[in-house]
Each structure stands twice: as C-alpha cells, then as structure tokens.
Amino acid sequence: MTDKDMAQKDKVHKSMSEISESLGTDTVNKFHEIIDESKQQKIKYQNPIHEEFSQEINCLLDSAREQQISSQKELQAILNQAATNLMDSNRLETLYSCAQQLQQAAQLGISNLQLNIQQYKDMIEKMEKDCHKQQVAVDLQVIQALQQAVSCMAQAQNSLLKSQAVDKIFDSITKCQDSLKQIEKLENTTTM
C-alpha cells in the first residue's frame, strides 16, 4: 500500500469515527427534545388513576431513554474499535506486501538486489516508518486496554444497573397495565 492509500484509509477511519459520534449525539439530543416536550405540557389529570398512569409512562420514558443512551455509547465504542482494527490491518497488510516483494527480490539473486538497491532501500525505509506507526498505535492500544481493564468493574456495575433499569421498565409497564384496568373499570361503572 502506498502512503496515498494509507492517507485515504485514515480519512475513512476518521469519517467512521465522526459518523458514530454523530449518531450517538443525534439520538441523545432527540430523546432529550421528546422528554422536554412531554414534561413542558401541563396535563390536567381527571383522577388519581390517570395521574398515576401518566407518572408511570414518564418513568418508562426516562428509563427507556437512559438505556438507549447507554446502548448508543456502547455502539460508538464498538465502531471506534472497529475503525482502529481496520487501520491496524491496513498497516500490517502494507508491511506484509513489502516483505513479500523483498522476498521475491532476494529469490532473484544478489545481482537483482544490487541492480535495484535504491528501490529496496526505499522500501525498507518505508517499512520502518510503517512499523514505527504500528508500534505507536499498539502502544496506545495497550494504554487503552489498561484503562479499559480498570473500567471493567464500572462496566460490570453498569450492567447491574441496566438490569435494575429494565426491571424498573417492566414494573412501570405492569403498573400501566394495572392503571388501564382501573380506568376500564371506571368506564364500565360509569356506563352502567
């Protein structure tokens, strides 16, 4: 791969990161708009059952929003990791390709190496630069992995909180069902 190809792939990586970040931000902003709009509307409750039902729906909305935001963050992290892996793969592919070319040159004999010595020196120099870039990238990945290891406990705790949030959503749904049954009973008693 040429430097131009690597630059193009770097642009693709940057674009993927920007898209994933934009997706997460846009989704979070849209949820905030919906929640804010629903909270700004002053509802006149007809009775305590209606008020309880509305409160459970708001609780359900809040819990679902929190879970969606969390999922978007996880998706963004996965997309960023995929983009990093793609760049690593491209750098290593370039190194492998150059190494194959050098192997073929060596198989052609010493006279071929002598004849094209500058080309092979340039290739080795490029491989050295690419290898250095890869080493820096891997070193950064090591640092990130160590940071992730430290945050694994926080992620485990977050998963427990997610489980509790889903339980809360389920509880809200059940309460909504109960409220609707009570509202239905009110309708039946008023029509009789």
Give the amino acid at 68: Q
| pLDDT over 90 (residue 74) | no
| pLDDT over 90 (residue 52) | no
d(CA 23, CA 59): 25
Mean pLDDT to the nearest integer, 167-181: 85
**DSSP letters spanning 3-16:** HHHHHHHHHHHHHH
Sequence-distant (6+) residues with CB within 8 A of 54 are 43, 45
pTM of the model: 0.50
Rg of the Cα trace of the chain?
A: 29
pLDDT digits (tens, 9 = 90+) for 123-137: 999 999 998 988 998
In this prediction, residue 37 carries a pLDDT of 65
pLDDT digits (tens, 9 = 90+) for 59-71: 888 888 888 888 8
Sequence-distant (6+) residues with CB within 8 A of 126 are 3, 98
The whole-chain average pLDDT of the chain stands at 80
